[in-house]
Amino acid sequence: MRLRQRIRRLAEGLPLPAVVWDVWRFRAFIMGSVRRDIESQFRGSLLGAAWLFIQPLAMILVYTLIFSNVMGSRLPGVGSTYAYSIYLCAGLLPWTYFSDSLARLQGVFVNNSNLIKKAAFPRICLPLIALGGSTFNFLVIQGLFFGFLLGSGNFPGWAVVGILPALAVQILLTVGLGMLTATMNVFFRDVGQLVNMVLVFLFWLTPIVYPVSVLPQEMRGWIWLNPLAVVVHHYQHIFVYGSLPDRDAWLALGAVAIVALGLTVLGLRVYRARAPEMADEL
């Protein structure tokens, strides 16, 4: 208890930015809301929270059984029976995390308009709650994927730590795009529909269900202009080949990190500029 009080006093004495200070003061509200959001997903169902494990486990098994023999030979330099199913899961799981988070974030202010009008709290809490729910789901399914890799003898070993920079860049990119679209969606409701449409095209422009090697040579360079392609490639290389990506891949991830940081700063500035007008617009 004394340690907690010391930490609290230390935090209160720090010259934190306004946004960080708001998050710290309302941390209990954020964590409680994330927990209620997770519980509400399965309230009333017979199996309850077991669906958190059943659905992703079924998806992994389906991909393994159907695609391991059909597409395995299309991955160059990989002889594993489960190569393609690992490749597919390694790309699909972070993509699902990104698309689910962005879908939640873009509508977070509009969907909580009644709460914004009636309760006094920092609006920045709402995007964090939405991102927290998506993050929990991602961690659960990623844990099951790790279990599958261990059980099949395909765990990448120490190289798995290489996904942490890719995950950090992905979260930063999601927050930047999410804050921009969430704020714009309050004033221009077409933004929500546009985001959903763009996600469909972006999925197929990201090498998730197909390897880059199947593309014509003249198209392979263009695919890397998609930031999600760079991030997903990082996951796939580590899980499929069991080693860290090469220098060019790290440089590309660094470039995406700079873009993601710029989008996050822009998104927060747009939010802070428009936050006072949100309640009236909603």
Least confident interval from 19-28, 97-106, 174-183: 19-28
Residue 12, CB-side half-sphere exposure with 13 Å CA sphere: 8
- Structural Rg of the chain based on CA atoms: 21
Domain region containing 179:
17-281
Q: What is this structure's pTM?
A: 0.85
Convert the pLDDT of each residue in 179-238 to its tens digit. Answer: 999 999 888 888 888 888 899 899 989 998 888 888 888 888 888 999 999 999 999 999
Report yes or no on 8 lying in a domain.
no
Indicate whether 71 pLDDT > 60: no
- More confident: 106 or 59: 106
Tell me what pLDDT residue 84 has.
81
Indicate whether 42 pLDDT > 90: no
Indicate whether 16 pLDDT > 80: no
Tell me what pLDDT residue 15 has.
41
Tell me what pLDDT residue 281 has.
72
SS3 216: coil
d(CA 42, CA 28): 22
d(CA 152, CA 50): 23
Indicate whether 51 pLDDT > 80: no
Report yes or no on 2 lying in a domain.
no
Report yes or no on 6 lying in a domain.
no
Percent of the chain with pLDDT over 70: 80
Report yes or no on 12 lying in a domain.
no
The DSSP 8-state label assigned to residue 282 in this structure reads -
Grade residue 14 by pLDDT with cuts at 50, 70 and 90.
Answer: very low
Tell me what pLDDT residue 19 has.
66
d(CA 198, CA 126): 23
Grade residue 18 by pLDDT with cuts at 50, 70 and 90.
Answer: low
Report yes or no on 53 lying in a domain.
yes
d(CA 227, CA 272): 26
Tell me what pLDDT residue 44 has.
62
What is the number of structural domains in the chain? 1
d(CA 24, CA 8): 10
Indicate whether 54 pLDDT > 90: no
Least confident interval from 74-78, 103-107, 204-208, 229-233: 74-78
How many distinct helices (H) and strands (E) make up the chain?
Answer: 13, 0
Report yes or no on 5 lying in a domain.
no
Report yes or no on 11 lying in a domain.
no
Indicate whether 12 pLDDT > 50: no
Report yes or no on 195 lying in a domain.
yes
